[in-house]
Amino acid sequence: MRIITYNVNGIRAALGKGFIDWIKSSEADVICIQETKARPEQIPTDLFNEAGYYAYWFSAQKKGYSGVGILTKKEPDNVVIGMGVEKYDNEGRVIRADYGDVSVMSVYHPSGTSGNVRQEFKMTWLDDFLIYSRKLKKERPNIIISGDFNICHKPI
């Protein structure tokens, strides 16, 4: 299974810059997308279908913010949106596709760069995401977590 993860920084802007052509040339089985910045009804899913992909989206409640998606050539057995934690799910940060005993997640972790409140939110998110991931791994041990982690190993 060839999996690609891509922070598009706005799916509509990416589409205007040749994203569909790139997808067609990628030969990916699964493309995990972060930072869609669009509601599902604003995304022309038919373009992805015509390129040979099923498309699944999870958007933030706030318009033009966050959002994740999964494009997949093979229809998944199951798609799960969110973590089941309202304060995170309101931001559209996690989507998972299950294929038999393998799960693929597209995750957009908070950046924490806009101030102390968001930095605290990010740190709490990291703790909660670790708990969520460990619990999920017990149920679905073959899990691939992809995405924009918004973490740098040293200061830039």
The pLDDT tens digits of the residues spanning 108-144 come to 999 877 788 988 999 999 999 999 999 999 999 999 9
Dist CA 4 CA 10 (whole Å):
17
Structural domain spans, the chain: 3-148
Superfamily name with CATH number, domain 3-148: Endonuclease/exonuclease/phosphatase (3.60.10.10)
**Which among 76, 63, 60 is positioned nearest to 3, based on CA atoms?**
76
- Catalytic residue check, 128: no
pLDDT given at position 114 = 75
- pTM here is 0.94
Reported in sequence order, the residue ranges of 3-155 that DSSP labels E, i.e. its strands, are 3-7, 30-34, 54-58, 68-72, 78-81, 94-99, 102-108, 142-148
**Residue of 46, 89, 98, 148 with catalytic role:** 148
